[in-house]
Structure 1
Amino acid sequence: MADELLPLLRESLTESERRHLVDMLNRVAGAHSSPSELQREAVARLKRRLLPGTSVLKTRRSGDVA
Structure 2
Amino acid sequence: MFTVSVPKKRRKYSTEFKINILKVYQDLKTSITSVALQHGINTNSTIELQWQASETLALAELIKVLAT
Q: Does the alignment reach a TM-score above 0.5?
A: no
TM-score normalised by the chain length of structure 2: 0.34
Higher RCO structure (Cα 8 Å, ≥6 apart): 1
Q: Higher helix share goes to which structure?
A: 2
For the pair shown, the structure with the greater C-alpha radius of gyration is 2
TM-score normalised by the chain length of structure 1: 0.34
